[in-house]
Chain A
Amino acid sequence: MRIAFCGVGAIGSHAAVLCRNLEATLVFIDFDRVEAKNLLAQAYVKPSVGRNKAEALKLQFLNLHGLKTEAMGVRVTRDNVATLCGGADLLVDCFDNRDGRQVLSDFARAHGKPLVHGAVSGDGTFGLVRWEEHFVPDAEDTAGQATCEGGAHLPLLGLLSATLARVIQDFAKEGLRRNALVNLSSVTPTPGA
C-alpha cells in the first residue's frame, strides 16, 4: 500500500511518525521549509531547520528509524495533483488551508481515491478526523483569520495526530473508515464508518 501524506506540518508530520509500523510506502508531500518555530509543534528536529519539510521528514525516518520513505517537495495544485497523488492507495489530507483541501477532495472524488482529512480549529481546542464522503471544508470566519502557530496546542495536536494515525492503520489493515471528533477530554467516534 502507498500512503500519501499531503502536508507534513503539525498534524501530518506526527501522524506519519505514528504510521511507521505499517507495511506501506509512506510518501510525504509538502512545499514548505522547516523553520525554528516549527520545532515546538511539529515532528522535526533541529538539524532539519532550513530543509524542505517532505525531504526533512524522509531524512529523519531514515536516520532515526532506519525506514525508507519518499518525498515530494512541491505544492499540490490542480495542475499536478494527478501526478503527485495518482499512484497513492490512500490520501491523507493534513493541509492547513481550504483551497488545498478542495484540490484533494475534487481529485479523490473524480478518481475514486480513498481520502481522509485531519483538521484542527484555529483556537486549538478541537480536531476532526473525517473521511472524504463526510467532509466539507469550513470557511474562515473572517478573511485572514489567524492559524494556531507555535507550540501552544501541542497536546491537542498530538491527540489528533494519534487518532488520525489509528484511523489510517485501521483502513490499511482492515479497510475500515472511522471518523472522530477530538478534544482534550475525549476522542468521540462519529457515524459513517
Chain B
Amino acid sequence: MATLNITYDGMSADVPVELDRPVSDTDVRRIAVELIRSGGVPGMHLSQLRDETFQHYAVDRFRGARGEERIYLRPKVPFGAR
C-alpha cells in the first residue's frame, strides 16, 4: 500500500493506493485524474477534470518514517515571485 498525495488548485489530500508494480510518473498522473474524477480523493471531486491536467506536474517519491511509500503529485516550483 502506498500513499498518493495530490496537490491541485490550492487543495491537497492523501489517498491510499494499491500498487502491485512500480508505476511511472505518467501512470501517477493518470491515476490521479481517475481518482479525482471518481470522487476518490477527499475534498476533490471534479468529474470534468481534463486528461492533461497534470501533464506539467512533478512527481516526488519518498519513504515515510515506517518505510511506507509516499508519492507526491504537485505543481512545479520553477520560480519564486518577483
The interface of chain A, by Cβ under 8 A from chain B, is 7, 9-12, 38, 41, 94-98, 118-128, 134, 137-141, 145, 147-149, 153, 156-157, 181, 183-186, 188, 190-192
Q: How near does chain B come to A55, taking the closest CB pair, in angstroms? A: 18
Q: How many residues of B contact A (CB 8 A)?
A: 23
The interface of chain B, by Cβ under 8 A from chain A, is 5, 7, 9-12, 56, 58, 62-65, 70, 72, 74-82
Chain B residue with Cβ nearest A147: B79
Is there an interface contact between A181 and B80, defined as CB atoms closer than 8 Å?
no
State the CA gap A143–B14 with chains docked (Å). Answer: 32
Q: How near does chain B come to A129, taking the closest CB pair, in angstroms? A: 10
Chain A residue with Cβ nearest B81: A10
- 7 closest A-B pairs by beta carbon, nearest first, are A119-B77, A96-B80, A138-B76, A121-B75, A10-B81, A125-B10, A141-B56
A186 contact from B12, B58, B78, B81, Cβ within 8 A: B12
State the CA gap A1–B79 with chains docked (Å). Answer: 28
Is there an interface contact between B77 and A127, defined as CB atoms closer than 8 Å?
yes
Beyond contacts A10-B81, A127-B77, A190-B72: 8 other A-B pairs, Cβ-Cβ < 8 A, are: A10-B82, A120-B79, A121-B76, A126-B77, A138-B76, A183-B10, A188-B12, A190-B62
14 contacting pairs across A/B (C-beta < 8 A): A9-B80, A96-B79, A119-B77, A121-B79, A134-B62, A140-B76, A141-B78, A145-B79, A156-B10, A157-B81, A181-B7, A183-B10, A183-B12, A190-B70
